[in-house]
């Protein structure tokens, strides 16, 4: 059950990053802010207000969405690559803020004791349902979004933001909406993840490790496509299981692979596959981009 | 008195941040690249310096002399090997490439040097201080600040008056037009990155003299450099110096109020500047 929750969280977080970076052109290295905020919201709802955690997950998503609004208002003033580091500063600020708050037990973190009231079977059912819902909402939601009226605008923005703007796409508004949606989706993944972990601490929840997970999965799998994220998540998950025990060496290799993909194969694995396997797979990818607009 | 002391310590701390920020201003101003491995490169140079000093028994000033060419070489290799392949138009590839480099470097350093904190022995320099009207001021922090002023002035003068500075400004405004007039943008970029990382070599020695360094420290240094650049105003050399001083003061006063709030106070000042004066304190345009 644990691996299922993990895989679905990685998939969700990566897909949200893909939406941001791949379509919105907003490169973030600070999505862990929303993981931490939603995770903590869930724990506070349960511990302070006695709300059933399985219900709390749905409510916890509101917090990152609300935080995303002023955050974006500040960050969108930063130019290009500075935006990315700005998101990191935000995440660090929330980490330090959480560490300094006695209300959430500071740096020591919180435990979700309310989960003990459920039997193992009830927990399994709850976690499975939420993992499924998480995928449905983030991946399914993105698919639906890309097929909708906005899909065409998003695809146009991905290919060339300035040209899209000149064709009447409201790039500013669309970017804002994507940022908030991605914050909520990432937050949902964070809430589900820490509900399964039963423990949350500022260092883990606001860890830049989440940013590297997103970046590795999306870049290696293939940016700007849903298939790429699926492939990337499976590659990351499998290599984490197989080579995770090698610790630093494994991370060095992950870092170098990310670097090489950025230099030599910007489309990632899916980019290479769709180029060589041919038109049939490529055209399925294009179907949703064509949409019904 | 306590707050005056915090103010002075803040200005001195700002001198350290100014040294980190210079390289970032240079690289962003010229290439519109933000090197996410900026802090990690500084830590790498610091660790090389500490090991080199222990191995050959040389003092901190000789270490600086050794680290400057090593830094320049690293910067040049970084530009030739990686950055020149990812610059232009889209910012995503350069961000992702340097992010990957940062993850790889951090873990590589952890493997070589383990996660321990180290520092460079300064032979008494690190604890020497002078008493100015009742406030003790460290000799080393003063030296750091003086070096920062010298480097900032030197870089500013170089950008304004030297032929290389002209080529650099031309390449940053319009690399194609600069190429037509006989400037080779890629060579200019390589020199700029080499200079940026060489400055980090100086910063690395001071950082390891006045505090400890460990392989995981890089991202924090990157963030301070970045905040200094934004507070001061993008692309302005003296602006990033001013930004570093403001950041240092904010952190020192925050620390004095509550040790847990020092760094957070720096972040808050950065966010305030972003909200109130997004072009930075010293930027002229807009």
Is B17 within 8 Å of B143 (Cβ atoms)?
A: no
Residues of chain A in contact with residue B105, where contact means CB-CB under 8 angstroms, are 255
Average pLDDT over residues B115-144: 78
B residues 149..208 contacting A (CB < 8 A): none
Burial of B189 (0-12, 13-18, 19+ CB in 10 A): buried
CA pair distance B207, B199, nearest whole angstrom: 12
How far is CA A118 from each of CA A43, A114, A126, A253, B137, rounded to the nearest angstrom? 16, 8, 10, 41, 61
pLDDT band at B57 (very low <50, low <70, confident <90, very high): confident
- DSSP per position, B41-96: HHHHHHHHHHHHHHHHT--HHHHHHHHHHHHHHHHHHHIIIIIHHH-SS-SHHHHH
Helix or strand or coil: residue B258?
coil
Report the candidate in A152, A147, A182 with the shortest Cα–Cα distance to residue A21.
A182
Beta-strand runs (E) in A137-267? 199-200
B residues 105..144 contacting A (CB < 8 A): 105-108, 110-111
Residues of chain A in contact with residue B267, where contact means CB-CB under 8 angstroms, are 89, 92-93, 96
Burial letters for B32-71: b for 16+ Cβ neighbours within 10 Å, e otherwise?
bbbbbbbbbbbbbbbbbbbebbeeeeeebeebbebbbebb
Query: What is the structure's pLDDT at B232?
Result: 85
B264/A262 CB distance under 8 A: no
Mean pLDDT in each 10-residue stretch from start to end of chain A (293 residues)? Answer: 84 90 86 93 88 87 92 84 87 90 82 81 86 87 81 80 80 88 92 90 89 88 84 87 81 87 80 64 43 42
Which of B32, B104, B232 best probes binding to A when mutated, by most A CB atoms within 10 angstroms?
B104
B103/A258 CB distance under 8 A: yes
Q: Could you tell me the sign of the dihedral formed by the alpha carbons of A81, A71, B243, B60, in that order?
A: negative
User: For residue B130, what are the β-bridge partners?
Assistant: B137
Distance from CA of A14 to the nearest CA of B (A): 14
Please check whether residue B40 touches A, CB under 8 A: no
CA pair distance A199, B52, nearest whole angstrom: 43
Report the candidate in A290, A280, A112, A117 with the shortest Cα–Cα distance to residue A201.
A112
A89/B91 CB distance under 8 A: no
User: For residue A110, what are the β-bridge partners?
Assistant: A200
Query: What is the structure's pLDDT at A273?
Result: 76
* Residue A168 falls in which region: left (phi positive, over 0), alpha (psi -120 to 50) or beta: left
Burial letters for B114-144: b for 16+ Cβ neighbours within 10 Å, e otherwise?
eeeebbbebeebbeeeeeeeeeebbebbbbb
Q: Which two tokens stand for residue A137?
A: 């909402």
CA pair distance B16, B19, nearest whole angstrom: 5
Which distant-in-sequence residues (6+ apart) come within 8 Å of A289 by Cβ?
A146, A151, A152, A155
Looking at every residue in chain B, the average pLDDT score rounds to 85
Which distant-in-sequence residues (6+ apart) come within 8 Å of B220 by Cβ?
B39, B263
For residue range B268-279, list pLDDT tens digits in order: 999 888 888 777
Report chain A residues touching chain B, CB-CB < 8 A.
21, 25, 27, 29, 74-75, 77-82, 84-86, 88-89, 92-93, 96-97, 99-100, 208, 211-212, 215, 219, 223, 248-249, 251-252, 254-263, 266
Axis-axis angle for helices B218-232, B262-276 (nearest 10): 30
pLDDT band at B45 (very low <50, low <70, confident <90, very high): very high
Which of B84, B103, B251, B255 best probes binding to A when mutated, by most A CB atoms within 10 angstroms?
B103
Domain range summary for chain A, segments of one domain joined by +: 2-207
Which distant-in-sequence residues (6+ apart) come within 8 Å of A149 by Cβ?
A291, A293
For residue range B130-183, list pLDDT tens digits in order: 777 777 778 888 888 888 899 988 888 888 888 888 888 887 777 778 778 777
Residues of chain A in contact with residue B97, where contact means CB-CB under 8 angstroms, are 258-259, 262-263
Closest residue in B to A209 (Cα–Cα):
B103
Query: What is the structure's pLDDT at A277?
Result: 66
Residue B259 has phi, psi (to 5 degrees) of -55, -30
Closest residue in A to B31 (Cα–Cα):
A81
In this complex, the residue of A86, A219, A263 whose CB is nearest that of residue B85 is: A263
CA pair distance A264, A259, nearest whole angstrom: 9
Please check whether residue B85 touches A, CB under 8 A: yes
Q: Which two tokens stand for residue B102?
A: 């940062």
* CATH (one of 1.10.3470, 1.20.120, 3.30.300, 1.10.10) for B2-123+132-276: 1.10.3470
CA A170 vs. chain centroid, Å, equals: 24
Query: What is the structure's pLDDT at B283?
Result: 67
B230/A27 CB distance under 8 A: no
Please check whether residue B222 touches A, CB under 8 A: yes
* Residue B174 falls in which region: left (phi positive, over 0), alpha (psi -120 to 50) or beta: beta
A77/B97 CB distance under 8 A: no
CA pair distance B103, A252, nearest whole angstrom: 7
Structure pTM? 0.86
Residue that is written with structure tokens 């003033």 in the block = A77
Distance from CA of B264 to the nearest CA of A (A): 6
For residue range B226-265, list pLDDT tens digits in order: 899 888 877 788 888 999 999 999 999 988 888 878 888 8
Residues of chain B in contact with residue A74, where contact means CB-CB under 8 angstroms, are 271, 274-275
User: For residue A200, what are the β-bridge partners?
Assistant: A110
Query: What is the structure's pLDDT at B180?
Result: 81
Question: How high is the ipTM of this complex?
Answer: 0.83
Closest residue in B to A22 (Cα–Cα):
B92
For residue range B78-88, list pLDDT tens digits in order: 988 888 888 77
CA pair distance B201, B38, nearest whole angstrom: 11
Please check whether residue B77 touches A, CB under 8 A: no
Is B126 within 8 Å of B210 (Cβ atoms)?
A: yes
């Amino acid at each position: 059950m644990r691996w299922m929750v993990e895989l679905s969280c990685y998939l969700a977080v990566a897909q949200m990053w893909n939406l941001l970076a791949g379509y919105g052109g907003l490169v973030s290295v600070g999505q862990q802010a929303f993981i931490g905020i939603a995770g903590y919201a869930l724990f506070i709802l349960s511990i302070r207000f006695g709300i059933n955690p399985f219900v709390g997950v749905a409510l916890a998503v509101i917090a990152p969405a609300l935080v995303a609004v002023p955050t974006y208002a500040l960050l969108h003033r930063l130019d290009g690559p500075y935006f990315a580091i700005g998101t990191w500063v935000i995440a660090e600020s929330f980490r330090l803020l959480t560490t300094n708050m006695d209300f959430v037990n500071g740096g020591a973190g919180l435990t979700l004791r309310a989960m003990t009231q459920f039997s193992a079977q009830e927990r399994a059912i709850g976690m499975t349902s939420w993992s499924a819902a998480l995928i449905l909402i983030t991946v399914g939601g993105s698919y639906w979004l890309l097929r909708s009226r906005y899909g065409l605008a998003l695809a146009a923005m991905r290919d060339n933001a300035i040209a899209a703007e000149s064709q009447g796409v409201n790039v500013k508004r669309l970017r804002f909406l994507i940022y908030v949606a991605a914050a909520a989706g990432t937050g949902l993944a964070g809430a589900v993840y820490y509900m399964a972990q039963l423990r949350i601490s500022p260092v883990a929840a606001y860890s830049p490790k989440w940013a590297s997970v997103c970046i590795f999965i999306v870049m290696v799998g293939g940016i700007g496509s849903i298939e790429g994220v699926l492939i990337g998540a499976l590659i990351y998950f499998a290599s984490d299981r197989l080579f995770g025990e090698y610790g630093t060496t494994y991370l060095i290799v992950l870092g170098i692979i990310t670097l090489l993909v950025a230099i030599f194969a910007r489309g990632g694995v899916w980019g290479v596959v769709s180029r060589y396997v041919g038109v049939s797979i490529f055209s399925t990818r294009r179907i949703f981009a064509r949409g019904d607009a | 008195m306590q707050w005056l002391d915090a103010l002075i310590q803040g200005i001195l701390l700002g001198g350290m941040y100014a040294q980190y920020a210079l390289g970032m201003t240079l690289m962003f101003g010229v290439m519109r690249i933000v090197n996410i491995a900026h802090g990690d490169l500084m830590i790498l140079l610091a660790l090389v310096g500490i090991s080199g000093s222990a191995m050959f028994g040389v003092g901190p000033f000789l270490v600086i002399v050794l680290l400057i060419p090593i830094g320049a070489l690293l910067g040049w290799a970084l530009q030739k090997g990686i950055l020149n392949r990812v610059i232009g138009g889209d910012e995503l590839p350069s961000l992702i490439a340097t992010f990957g480099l940062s993850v790889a470097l951090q873990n590589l350093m952890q493997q070589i040097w383990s996660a321990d904190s180290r520092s460079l022995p300064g032979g008494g320099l690190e604890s020497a201080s002078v008493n100015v009207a009742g406030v003790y001021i460290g000799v080393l922090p003063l030296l750091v600040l003086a070096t920062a002023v010298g480097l900032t002035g030197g870089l500013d003068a170089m950008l304004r008056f030297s032929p290389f500075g002209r080529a650099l400004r031309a390449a940053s405004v319009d690399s194609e037009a600069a190429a037509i007039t006989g400037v080779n943008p890629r060579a200019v970029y390589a020199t700029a990155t080499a200079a940026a990382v060489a400055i980090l070599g100086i910063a690395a020695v001071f950082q390891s003299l006045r505090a400890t360094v460990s392989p995981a420290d890089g991202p924090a240094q990157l963030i301070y450099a970045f905040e200094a650049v934004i507070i001061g105003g993008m692309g302005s050399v003296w602006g990033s110096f001013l930004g570093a001083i403001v950041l240092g003061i904010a952190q020192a006063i925050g620390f004095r109020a509550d040790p847990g709030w020092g760094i957070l106070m720096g972040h808050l000042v950065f966010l305030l500047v972003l909200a109130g004066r997004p072009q930075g304190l010293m930027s002229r345009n807009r």
